[in-house]
Amino acid sequence: MANTTERVAVKSFSMLMISGLLASAALSAPIALAAPAALPKGEALKTLPGKSYDAAIPTLEQVVGYAFGEEITESRDIKRYFEALAKAAPDRVRLIPYGKSWQARPLYLAVIGAPETIARLDTVKSEMIRFADPRRSTPAEAQALREKLPAIIWLAHAVHGDEIGPGDAAMLTAYHLLAAKDDPATDKIRAEALVIINPVQNPDGRDRFIASTRSARGLTADASPLSAERDQPWPGGRFNHYVFDLNRDWFAQTQPETQAHNAAILSWMPLVLADIHEMGTEASYFFPPAADPANPMQTKAQMQARDRIGRSIAQAFDRDGLDYFTREVYDLFYPGYGDGWPSYLGAVTMTFEQGSARGLVARRRSGATLTFAETVKSQTTASLALALHAAENRRTLLSEFRAFRETAISQGRASPQRLRILREGARPGDAAKLAGLLARQGIEVGQAKGGFSACGKSFPAGTYVIDQAQPAGRMLAVLTNQKVDLDPAFAKEQERRRARGLPDQIYDVTAWSLPLLHNLAFTACRATPPADVTIIEADHARPGVVHNPSPKVAHLAPWGDGASARFLAAVLKAGHAVKSADAAFTLDGRRYPAGTLILDVEDNGGAAGAIEALARETGAELVGVNDSWVTDGPSFGSSRVLLMPSPRVAMAWDKPTGRTGAGAARFVLERKLGWPVTAIRGDRLRNADLSQVDVLILPAQEQDYIDMLEESGAKRLRDWVRAGGVLITLGDATRFVADPKAGLSALRREKLAIEDEKDALEKPKEDKDTVPGVILKSKDDLKKATTPFERGPDPVAGVLARASVDGEHWLGAGVEETVHALISGEDIYAPLRLDEGVNVASYEAASTLLASGYLWEENRKQLAFKPFVTAEGLGRGHIIAFTSDPTARGFLDGLDVLFANAVFRGAAHSGKPR
C-alpha cells in the first residue's frame, strides 16, 4: 500500500474510509481489555468533503462499540451488525441463512438492493434461474428478462479465518451501500444491481484466530513480526474445524461450509463473483487480470470481462493512492478455488488479495506500518469499484452470461464425449456418491429407468447418464475430463525455469478428474442420451440393500466400496462380531471379493434386525446365507478368515504434523469411515504410553517427525510396533520411518536418478580443501558444474498417477487392481526387497503411469514401478507406509478402502494382545 511513514498504530485509523465514506460518530474508550488503545475521546474520523450518510443506518460503533477498522470483529458481532442493518432498512436488506459450520456457527447472506428489487426478491431468483437455462426461455423471453433483471453481484469474504480484513470490509461495504447519500456511484449500484454479501465463509477459523491474537495482545497492538499476537498457534486460523483449506474444496465439497455456499450460489446464479482474501504482509493488493495459466475452458468473454473489471478497480485505486498488482501469482487453472468453480456456471469470477496485517498493525521490512484499518479500506474500495462496474455494464454481463450457457449446450452437443455413462457396477454406493456429487455442481445427472444401449454397449437400469449438451456442460467437462492441459507456452516456460534452477510457477495441483479421484470409469461417446431417465437430486445416495433378511447362518457384506467400510465401522461400534476373509470365495454360486465381512448368526444372536438396519443406513449391500458351504476359497472357519477387532486408533496432531494433512486424515477416519480417533499432540507423542493404542497414524508432516520424537521416541515406537502395534505413515511422514536414525523401516528415499552417469561430475572427497580443476566448454558444462552432487527429484505440484495393487496381500483385499494416487512433492522410494516387506501397491510403467496432470519427465521415469504402499512386519506388529497421502484433501474416495484396510485389517493381522 502507499503508506511509507512510520506511525502510531491507532492513528492510522484515519485511513479507514474509502472515497465517499464518512465516519459516523466519536470514538469511545475501549470496551474490553483486549481492545486497542483508542483515539482521544471526542476526536472523530475525518470525512471527505461533500459526502454525507443517512443517520438512520447504524454504524458499527453504535452496534458493537468501536469504529470500522478499529478492532477485528468476531463472527457473532458481524452477524449482530448485519441484523442491525436489516432492522434499520428492512426494505433494502434481507438476511438469508444458508447453513452452519462444523461448530454450528451460522452461515448467512446479506442481500442488498433497491426497495423495489427486495420486494420481488423471490421473483428475481426464479427469473434468474430461468434466464440461466436457454432451454426454459426463448430468445425473446431472455431479451425481456435482460432488460429487467438486476446485475447479481456476489462478494464472498473470509474463506480463510486468519484473513481478517474481508470480514470487517463486508460490514463497511454494506454500510456504504445503505447509508451513502448524494453519491451517484452508489445510486447507480442501488438502481442496477443486487449485491449479495457473504460476510464470513469460515467463522470457525476466524474466531480461532481472533482468540489467539487477542489472548497474546499487550498494552497496545504490537507491529513487530516477532509478536505473539501475529504468530498463530497450530493449526492457525486459516482452516475450518477439520483443518481444511476451504479454498481447495469448492468442487470436492467435502465440508459443510462449501456444500452450503455452493448450493446458495446455484440458487442465485450471480453474474460476477469476487472471492476476497488476504496474503502476506509485504504484499500490496491483487485483482484481475489473473496470472497464467488459465484453464482452457475459461471463455474469451470471461477473460475480457475480468480485464475490464480490473481496469475499473485500478482507476479507484489510483484515485485513492493505493498500490496494487495484477497478472502475477494467482491463476485460474484449478477449478477448486473460490474464483474457479463458479466460473464454470458462467459467472465472471475473480480473486481479491490484500496484504494482511494479521492483527491490528504490522511493520513491514521497509519500516512502514500496515494497519488493519487500511486493509478494510482497500477491500471496500475494490468491492465498490466492482459493484459499480457491474451496475454500469449490467446488460453486457447478462448477455455474456446467457451466451456462456447457450454455447455450453452447443459445444456439448458437438463433443465426442457428449454422453457420459456411469454404471453402478461392483461399487454401486460409490457410483451413487459420485453421481450425487456431480448433481451438487448444478449438473443434470439422469438415472436410467430401464436398460438401454449406447456407445456400442448395453447398460442396465439404474445406470447414470449425463448429457454434456446442457447449460452446465463446461462444469461437467472440467470436472470429469481425464486431463486438462496446461497452456503449452506456460509449460515450456516452467521447463525453462527448472533448467535454470528456478522454482516453477504452478500454483496448485494440475490434476483433479473426479472419476479418477473416485477410481470409477466413465464410458463416453458422441451419442444421444436415453430419454427414459429420472433426474437425480443433489442429495442423491444409494440406500443399503439387504438380500434374504434374517438368514439362518450368516450375513455377508461384500467388501470393496466406501459403504462396506462404513458398515464395518458401524457394526464394530455397535458391538457386533465380525469376521473377514483374506481371500475371495464362492458361496451359492456367487463370488465374494477378498475382505468380505462375515457376521455369523450364532455369534450375533438376536441382532439380525439391528445389523440389517445398519446396512441400510450406511448404504452397504448385505446378503443373508442359509449355509456356509464354500466351493472355492477360504471357508468361514479357515485361518484366512480373521476376527475383526475394534481397533483403538490414535493419530499425531499438532506440530510436527502438516495441518491440512492431519485434518484430512482425521476427517476421513471420523466422517467418511465413521471411526473415532484419539488425537495426540506431537510433543506428547515422544513419551506417550501407547499400550492402549492398536493403530497409530502419522499424517503428512510439516516439520520432521524425527526432530520432535528424537531417537528415544523412535525407539518407543519401535518397541510398541514389536509388541503388536500398527504404525501407518501418510505421504511425507514416511520420511520418518525411512530415516535410518528411526530404525523402523527398510524403506529409503531415492536421490535424483541420472540416466547417464558419465554426465555427472565426480563428487570430491570431503576431507580435501581443493577440488580437481575442470575446463568448462559450454553452457551445458556449466549446468553440470553447478548442479548439486546429491539432490532429490524436482517437486511436483500434484498429478494423478496409476498404481497397481497386489490383491493377494491382505492390505489389498477388495481393492481394485488399479488405483489413482495424488503425487505431490519430491519423494520417491526404492522398492522393498522380498526379505524386507511387501510392495503392496506400485506405480505403473513410465509409459502408462501418468493418468492426469503435468509431470516432469525425470520424475515420470524414476517413479515407474516404485512403491505407493508398503507393508513390513516388525515383531508382532506392522508398519504400513503410504508414500503419497491417500487422505489428501479428503477427496480421494477411490483410496478409502485401501486406507480402511490399513486401519482395520492391519489391526486384525497384528499380534497385539487385547
Predicted confidence band at 533 (pLDDT cuts at 50, 70, 90)?
very high
The answer to whether the CB of 401 falls within 8 A of the CB of 142 is no
For 352-367, how does the pLDDT look when each residue is reduced to its tens digit (9 = 90+)?
Answer: 999 999 999 999 999 9
The answer to whether the CB of 66 falls within 8 A of the CB of 78 is no
Among residues 366, 341, 590, which one has the least CA distance to residue 476?
Answer: 341
Q: Please report the pLDDT score of residue 757 as a whole number.
A: 57
Predicted confidence band at 16 (pLDDT cuts at 50, 70, 90)?
very low
pLDDT at 456 over 60: yes
The set of residues, in sequence order, having a beta carbon less than 8 Å from that of 788 and lying 6+ positions away, is none
pLDDT at 141 over 70: yes
- How many distinct helices (H) and strands (E) make up the chain? 26, 39
Q: Please report the pLDDT score of residue 773 as a whole number.
A: 85
pLDDT at 723 over 80: yes
What is the C-alpha to C-alpha distance for residues 869 and 804, in angstroms, rounded to an integer? 10
What is the C-alpha to C-alpha distance for residues 904 and 914, in angstroms, rounded to an integer? 15
What is the C-alpha to C-alpha distance for residues 872 and 853, in angstroms, rounded to an integer? 31
Query: Given the C-alpha cell 509485504, which residue does it identify?
Result: 282
What is the C-alpha to C-alpha distance for residues 314 and 312, in angstroms, rounded to an integer? 5
What is the C-alpha to C-alpha distance for residues 680 and 329, in angstroms, rounded to an integer? 36
3-state secondary structure (DSSP) of residue 300: helix
Q: Which three cell numbers stand for residue 824?
A: 505431490
Q: Which three cell numbers stand for residue 355?
A: 496484504
Q: Please report the pLDDT score of residue 761 as a whole number.
A: 59
pLDDT at 23 over 50: no
Q: Please report the pLDDT score of residue 425 as a whole number.
A: 87
SS3 of 822-879: the string is: EEEECCCECCCCCCCCEEEEEECCCCCCEEECCCCHHHHHHHCCCEEEEEEEECCEEE
- DSSP code of 156? E
Q: Please report the pLDDT score of residue 780 as a whole number.
A: 79
What is the C-alpha to C-alpha distance for residues 114 and 608, in angstroms, rounded to an integer? 61
The set of residues, in sequence order, having a beta carbon less than 8 Å from that of 605 and lying 6+ positions away, is none
For 316-353, how does the pLDDT look when each residue is reduced to its tens digit (9 = 90+)?
Answer: 999 999 999 999 999 999 999 999 999 999 999 999 99
Q: Please report the pLDDT score of residue 770 as a whole number.
A: 78
Residue 912: phi and psi, rounded to 5, are: -75, 125
Q: Residue 830: how many CB atoms within 10 A of its CB? A: 13
- DSSP code of 21? -
The answer to whether the CB of 475 falls within 8 A of the CB of 412 is no
pLDDT at 661 over 70: yes
Amino acid at 60: L
Mean pLDDT of 889-902: 98
Mean pLDDT of 664-678: 98
Predicted confidence band at 804 (pLDDT cuts at 50, 70, 90)?
very high
B/e letters for 371-392, b = 16+ CB within 10 Å, e = fewer, are bbbbbbbbbbbbbbbbbbbbbb
pLDDT at 7 over 90: no
The answer to whether the CB of 199 falls within 8 A of the CB of 82 is yes
DSSP string, 241-292: TT---GGG-TTT--SHHHHHHHHHHHHH--SEEEEEEEE-TT--EE-SSPEE
SS3 of 52-92: the string is: EECCCCCCHHHHCCCCCCCCCCCHHHHHHHHHHHHHHCCCC
Q: Please report the pLDDT score of residue 763 as a whole number.
A: 67
pLDDT at 17 over 50: no
What is the C-alpha to C-alpha distance for residues 780 and 803, in angstroms, rounded to an integer? 35
Predicted confidence band at 559 (pLDDT cuts at 50, 70, 90)?
very high
Predicted confidence band at 25 (pLDDT cuts at 50, 70, 90)?
very low
For 492-502, how does the pLDDT look when each residue is reduced to its tens digit (9 = 90+)?
Answer: 999 999 998 89
SS3 of 623-672: the string is: EEECCCCEEECCCCCCCCEEECCCCCEEEEECCCECHHHHHHHHHHHHHH
- The distance of Cα 480 from the centroid of its chain, to the nearest Å, equals 17
Mean pLDDT of 809-830: 97
- The dihedral region occupied by 789, where left means phi > 0, alpha psi between -120 and 50, and beta the remainder, is alpha
Handedness of CA 863, 866, 869, 875 (dihedral sign): negative
The answer to whether the CB of 69 falls within 8 A of the CB of 357 is no
Mean pLDDT of 719-748: 97
Residue 324 to residues 288, 348, 518: CA-CA distances in angstroms? 10, 20, 41
Q: Please report the pLDDT score of residue 21 as a whole number.
A: 40
Q: What is the mean pLDDT of the chain?
A: 92
Mean pLDDT of 258-280: 98
Predicted confidence band at 914 (pLDDT cuts at 50, 70, 90)?
low
Radius of gyration for the chain, computed over Cα atoms and rounded to the nearest angstrom? 29
For 145-176, how does the pLDDT look when each residue is reduced to its tens digit (9 = 90+)?
Answer: 999 999 999 999 999 999 999 999 999 999 99
Among residues 383, 364, 461, which one has the least CA distance to residue 421?
Answer: 461
Amino acid at 374: E
3-state secondary structure (DSSP) of residue 165: helix
CA neighbours closer than 13 Å in the CB half-sphere of residue 699: 31
Q: Which three cell numbers stand for residue 672?
A: 467418511
The answer to whether the CB of 367 falls within 8 A of the CB of 6 is yes
What is the C-alpha to C-alpha distance for residues 82 and 700, in angstroms, rounded to an integer? 40
What is the C-alpha to C-alpha distance for residues 668 and 373, in angstroms, rounded to an integer? 39
- The CA angle 705-709-714, to the nearest 5 degrees, is 100
Q: Indicate the helix (H) or strand (E) that contains 395.
A: helix 394-414
Mean pLDDT of 522-546: 94
User: How do strand 726-730 and strand 877-882 relate by DSSP bridges?
Assistant: parallel
Among residues 235, 171, 248, which one has the least CA distance to residue 209?
Answer: 235
DSSP string, 328-373: SS-EE--TTSTTTGGGGGT-EEEEEEEE--SSSEEE-TTS-EEEHH
- The CA angle 330-331-337, to the nearest 5 degrees, is 90
For 465-478, how does the pLDDT look when each residue is reduced to its tens digit (9 = 90+)?
Answer: 999 999 999 999 99
Predicted confidence band at 754 (pLDDT cuts at 50, 70, 90)?
confident
Q: Which three cell numbers stand for residue 235?
A: 493449526
The answer to whether the CB of 125 falls within 8 A of the CB of 94 is no
What is the C-alpha to C-alpha distance for residues 546 and 311, in angstroms, rounded to an integer? 61
Q: Please report the pLDDT score of residue 27 as a whole number.
A: 32
What is the C-alpha to C-alpha distance for residues 72 and 629, in angstroms, rounded to an integer? 69
Tell me which of 884 and 12 has the higher pLDDT: 884
Q: Please report the pLDDT score of residue 50 as a whole number.
A: 40
Amino acid at 532: D
Q: Please report the pLDDT score of residue 45 as a whole number.
A: 30
